[in-house]
Structure 1
Amino acid sequence: MNADERRFAVLRAIVADYVATHEPVGSKMIVERHNLGVSSATVRNDMAVLEEDGLIAQPHTSAGRVPTDKGYRLFVDRLAQVKPLSAAEKRALQAFLDGAVDLDDVLRRSVRLLAQLTRQVAVVQYPTLTRSTVRHCEIVALTPARLMLVVITDSGRVDQRVVDLGEVLSDDEVAQLRSLVNGALAGRRLAAASVAVADLPDSVPHELREVAITISTVLIETLVEHPEERLLLGGTANLTRNVADFPGSLRQVLEALEEQVIVLKLLASAQDPGTVTVRIGEENEAEEMRDTSVLSIGYGPGTVLGGMGVVGPTRMDYPGSIAAVHAVARYVGEILAGR
């Protein structure tokens, strides 16, 4: 191998050992553990070059070296093949996700699975409604003066609202409203559906106008609200395993996760369902996330419905975590496509 390849092999060895042991890595350790076929002196020279290039650094108290954000970035960029999940892991993943009863359950299970597979914090964003289409709106009379509206979208989302009318409706009038509302909503993207619903009171028989105004107001709130600002988090306790991984402040990271906005921004940029995006340390815009790496990917049945991924320290098993995020997202897409 040429000098460049050999130096990259040394960097890879430092990343692997530091991720495994959390101890700075010395040249002697690399020669003993990794079959690079070169002397300790050569490895020391390579380490000096890697350090000069800003790919590794020396913590004050130690003779060994640790990877920098730039070093991890080069390592991730040159991952020729991502370690795929084993057949047993794939079977377990399939069995666990196949047991899900609805969209909420699929996403809850995905979060638990990702947190277990990667031992990081797993994050899944609910399907973004802006990209969804209304499949159907069910209107159920709970009492003659009280209706339940159930909006079902093509992503499998279900939103329920109860409406008190202040007047009594017959079964025929409820059926008439159901047909008018579905005529306005069904098959439209959410933004278009909310416009159509706003026009609804003008097109109903005079005696139903007041009721139609009440219903359309509630439906517009349901359609225009953004429940995509909903995240599921799992495995937050995984971050506390090694507080030393967060020299800035672990509390800052936990607060940023709770605020969700930062994480949503990160997930929103994961538009490609085929590729895991990796942001390492300083590459994260938000200051609170500078000690973390965020792996994210879009999921969905062909079209991307939302993002999912993991958040952990920069010292993480990148090949294993990337494989897990990729596999879970792909499988969730398959499940949603089959529903």
Structure 2
Amino acid sequence: MVARNVAHFIDAALHSVLAQTLRQIEVVVVDDGSTDETAEIVRDHVGKDPRVRLMDGPRMGLSAVRNTSLAAARAPFVAIVDADDLLHPQHLEWLLEHQAATGAQICASNMASFFQSTDGVQAAAFAAAPRWRRARRITANEFVRCGMIGGREVSLGYFKPLLARAFLLENGIRYDEGLRIGEDFDLLFRAMLAGARFEFLPRISYFYRRHAQSTSHRLALDDLAGLIAATRGYSANEAGLAALLRARLANLEGARRQLLALDALRERRILDALRVAGPHREARRLVLSSLRESCIKRLGLWDAAQTGGDAQKRMPLSAADLVPLMRALSPAGALT
């Protein structure tokens, strides 16, 4: 668990982890320079439960902090949970059972995103298309195809998996500390290239909290340069996967040109925007998508557009799925 200035959320997150039906766990929390009460809240848990460990982070970016926690872990499997999210009480039990049944080095369950306000809790399944309603293997080809910027597929790099630590160590796989975004996608894909099997469990057991501080930041040119460099470093012998990696490079280059074109449009440099985006098909698609989104927001139709979008954005959770979430959000802060 990586933590930085999450005092409002980390207590509930830790309660949900410590309430797991799988009792033999360690919780490695890396506090990366918090200036609020985050560390104090974790220390309170350390004093009450010997399974919790608190470490100082390197303050060198998320990838470096992830590597710090992975290096400190002692269990044969490691699971990622963000400090503002929540777990179903059987999250680890289900993932470990699925790993034992499949032998996979990577196992992930379905997720739900939720937003808590004075009006109540709104929650929706993350992956809700029919193919995500059964347990199955995720191939490297599908992983790349679903990871395109501006695509309509569920980005599989967002899943919070259970990882076989020995496999990562034996293959020298660590988080790329040169990446500011996309570090989870990169680590999982390099593991798959090294032979890791990725298995998906359709049960919703991870709850991703949406709040003001969790809003994704705008991509920067340096971010895209890092992703392009990482993608160029991947090696694929299979023709279909190699073609998908070329498509990913085109997608990332299109996103780079999109940023340049949108900046030019903001400065009313219309011809410059056309010169940058015009010759590149992906750039044209992404720019037009951004302009459409901007117009919808200006007209006050964004919520309606989101509701009418792809399946994972509009499938609400069932009452049964909401029970563990509502318990986690109870005043006691614990799942029972």
Q: Same fold (TM over 0.5)?
A: no
| TM-score (normalised: structure 2) | 0.23
Q: Which structure is richer in relative contact order (CA contacts within 8 A, separation 6 or more)?
A: 2
Larger Rg: 1
